[in-house]
Amino acid sequence: MEIISYNINGIRAALKKGLGEWLRNTKPDIVCFQELKANIEDIDVACFEALGYNHYWFPAQKKGYSGVGILSKKEAKKVVYGMGHDLFDYEGRVIRIDIEDFSLFSIYFPSGSSGDARQSLKMEFLTAFKNFIDDFLKTQNKVIICGDYNICHRAIDIHDPIRNKKSSGFLPEEREWLDNFLSNGFVDTFRHLNSEPNRYSWWSYRARSRAKNLGWRIDYNLISQALLPNLQSADILDQVVHSDHCPLYLKINY
């Protein structure tokens, strides 16, 4: 089973840049989207249906903002929208589907880069999300959490760790949160299989950052320990360009 996670930074813009054709050629079984920036009625669902996908969307209530979605060749046994937190569900940040015997999330963590208020909200989200997943793990041990975490875990995951040590997304408290989250039973699939540096999933639009590979690895496909025997491969598809992020690839044995 091949899974793609992709912050597309606006699904309508990504489709205009050839997202549909790319999916037609790559044929993933599941696609997790983040940052839809669209309401359901604004999404060209016929494009995805023509490719054989069932589709599930959880947009933000604020137009042109945030939002997550999942495409799946297999119909979901269950779909859950949000995580039971009014503010974060208003922003459309978490969606879950159950297929086979595992649960899969597409998540879009808040960014704190716009100022102290949003950074404080981001830290609130981190606490709420960990508590939410801790509770969920009591009933399901086979879990995949795909998405944009807006956190670089280690120095290897960012092009300039020294200058960015006080930047949102690489703050010590954010990195510590990710340490704790992983130690609670999750595996960073890419880093589990790949130790090479200079592999990033997001680049600023400024100063030709992508051309210079001045990036950040802030997108992850995490799996629970129970799924580790199923892990086959993981990669960052950094040559694919429909967004300021690139897709993440995960292959599991199912």
Annotated catalytic residues are 148
CA distance 77 to 232: 24
What stretch of H or E contains 57?
strand 54-58
CA distance 90 to 88: 5
- The tokens of 22 are what? 């790319």
* CB-based contact 108:93 (threshold 8 Å): yes
Question: How far does the chain reach from its first CA to its final CA, in angstroms?
Answer: 6
Distances 14 to 24, 32, 249 between C-alpha atoms, Å: 14, 14, 18
CA dihedral 149, 155, 158, 159 (to 10 degrees): 180
CA distance 10 to 197: 28
* CB-based contact 67:88 (threshold 8 Å): no
* CB-based contact 37:12 (threshold 8 Å): yes
Cα angle 14, 86, 70 (rounded to 5 degrees) comes to 30
Closest CA to 146 of 36, 8, 249, 43: 249
